Chain A
């Protein structure tokens, strides 16, 4: 039973999505503008600078709803990253945990055009 639940992480579609988000994020880190962390994410949403928000899956539910509500008001897409804050920090190439991040300028990546549509 547990193995059938966990096996979703082994399916090709999951791995493909996860890897593509991570690779696109790496490109944004290198060439684009972003902010890490709850306070700055809200700041960028308020000033209508954010184009995409990523939230880790272990973000506290109240905080997650708050960010989703702000993004609904500002019409910014939110992507629920399939991984916890440790994984999101690793995907950003940082050595600390990242619970939420906002992408201001995607640089050479195509993360805004491609990813939210997939899910």
Chain B
């Protein structure tokens, strides 16, 4: 009886190209819109996870391995699995539905999300979110 599909909730995508990838909810549309008459949400997730960094790695290699590729997507509620985790990164101003209108807007929005994700990954918090789900 508690609403749990809220912004900042970490979810796992179940269908599509990003199946098994973790994402965080940016905006909910519980009652849908005219184009999507079902409950769906705007998510920002990890398209390519950062690889494992070992002590031997040079600074250049560490920087290369810690890169995160992000994606933005509108996804149906039935195609996500909510988790008990959250990711408190403020993506509201960066990610908006009009970022999905044209390709170059989407690319610039994804770049900003990537920067925020990388900054969060480097602090060492939210380790679960940036680790690949093996299945």
Contacts and interface: CB of A to CB of B under 8 A. Distances in A.
B17 interface: no
B123 to A, nearest CB: 26
B1 interface: yes
Interface in A60-117: 66, 70, 72-76
A48 B82 contact: no
> Chain A contact residues: over half helix, strand or loop, or mixed?
helix
Contacts of B39: 46-47
B5 interface: yes
Interface string A5-31: 000000000000000000000000000
Contacts, number: 28
B16 to A, nearest CB: 18
Contact of A48 (B3, B77, B84): B3
A75 B1 contact: yes
Contacts of B3: 48, 74
Interface in B33-79: 39, 77-78
A42 interface: yes
Nearest to A71: B1
Interface string A49-62: 01100000000000
A46 B78 CA distance: 9
Contacts of B5: 46
Contacts of B2: 48, 73-75
B82 A73 contact: yes
Interface of A: 39, 42-43, 46-48, 50-51, 66, 70, 72-76
